[in-house]
A and B are shown apart, each in its own frame.
Chain A
């Protein structure tokens, strides 16, 4: 309930996609069949500021899902998936979330979103005493080559 209220207030206040010096581009959610319990979201997050920023992973919200986590798939003989608790983006660097690597895991959808719709996400960042939030609409689609 608290998260929903925070999201509602922020949505009323914010413009789409970019605030300050953080830009999120190419966001998409992999389309999935009905009854799917977990989906993956991908994007590029660019830090154009002169300060390092930390993603406030625990507060990330994906509308229509009960929980959002950041995970990393790795392949070193074994395919493993690790939950990431902390991630920092250095000044003028980008964080790339892509298939087979870092991705948001969107857990327990109320209903599985259809292709050509969008999932609304709020992604929180912080540096020193400041906090920023970016709202994105990640397109639900198939993987492209």
Chain B
């Protein structure tokens, strides 16, 4: 069993304006990272710049929550594209299971569920650096016929300066998430 425990950032000023999560008055810088997208291209922190990014962690062997989150975020992206047409928004799915989630697997998986999303994989140590930085916890649960993960499933919103601006609960409804994400983007522009 793999335990990955991180210590979250302290003394963060939060804007208490959201139903589904929290926004940071002072956006947080994140570490540099280098992973591969589903087309096998290098993807780094620099690729977060000049656009808004919704980012979440998961794994393709997850039958329920990850496809549900992909569905929700796909709907939200459509609504934001319609309501805020000048905003460039991308969605990133970063695997916690690079052992099984190769670039080919991510390509097949996202090609099926939502081809507009970007899937990232890479060396587990690089992924752990990023999860640690974002205070994402994950735990491998071994079973007789494979393994699953318990994991922090927060949805993160990165601003066009590649900084963490807000995080949201994935259990929230599409409409509530949509409203809150739009609120954060509009207040920041």
Binds B, one of A26-34, A55-63, A86-94, A121-129: A26-34
Complex CA–CA separation, A48 to B63 (angstroms):
30
Are B146 and A37 within 8 A (Cβ)?
yes
How many interface residues does A have (CB within 8 Å)? 30
Given the known inter-chain contacts A79-B153, A81-B64, please indicate yes or no for A33 contacting B145, CB distance below 8 A: no
B148 lies within 8 A of chain A by Cβ: yes
Are B137 and A78 within 8 A (Cβ)?
yes
Complex CA–CA separation, A40 to B61 (angstroms):
11
CB distance from B114 to the nearest CB of A (A): 10
A38 lies within 8 A of chain B by Cβ: yes
Complex CA–CA separation, A108 to B63 (angstroms):
12
A103 lies within 8 A of chain B by Cβ: yes
Complex CA–CA separation, A30 to B64 (angstroms):
9
* Cross-chain contact of A99 among B64, B148, B169 (Cβ < 8 A): B64
Chain A residues near B148 (CB-CB < 8 A): 81
30 A-B pairs with CB atoms under 8 Å apart are A30-B64, A30-B67, A32-B63, A33-B109, A36-B60, A37-B61, A37-B146, A38-B61, A39-B63, A40-B67, A71-B64, A73-B65, A75-B153, A78-B150, A78-B151, A79-B150, A79-B151, A79-B153, A80-B150, A81-B64, A81-B150, A99-B68, A99-B71, A100-B65, A100-B170, A103-B64, A106-B63, A108-B145, A142-B71, A143-B71
Q: Mark A86-122, 1 if CB is under 8 A from B, else 0.
A: 0000000000000110010111100000000000000
Are B112 and A32 within 8 A (Cβ)?
yes
A4 lies within 8 A of chain B by Cβ: no
How many interface residues does B have (CB within 8 Å)? 28
CB distance from A139 to the nearest CB of B (A): 16
Chain A residues near B4 (CB-CB < 8 A): none
Q: Please give me the residue from chain A that is nearest to B143 by CB atom.
A: A83
Q: Is the interface of A mostly helix, strand, loop or mixed?
A: strand
Those of A35-50 within 8 Å (CB) of chain B: 35-40
Are A75 and B169 within 8 A (Cβ)?
yes
CB distance from A92 to the nearest CB of B (A): 28
B75 lies within 8 A of chain A by Cβ: yes
Chain A residues near B62 (CB-CB < 8 A): 81
Chain A residues near B40 (CB-CB < 8 A): none
* Cross-chain contact of A73 among B61, B64, B75, B105 (Cβ < 8 A): B64
CB distance from B2 to the nearest CB of A (A): 15
Complex CA–CA separation, A75 to B64 (angstroms):
12
* Cross-chain contact of B65 among A37, A81, A142 (Cβ < 8 A): A81
Given the known inter-chain contacts A33-B111, A34-B108, please indicate yes or no for A79 contacting B63, CB distance below 8 A: no
Complex CA–CA separation, A77 to B62 (angstroms):
18
Chain A residues near B65 (CB-CB < 8 A): 73, 75, 79, 81, 100
Complex CA–CA separation, A38 to B100 (angstroms):
14
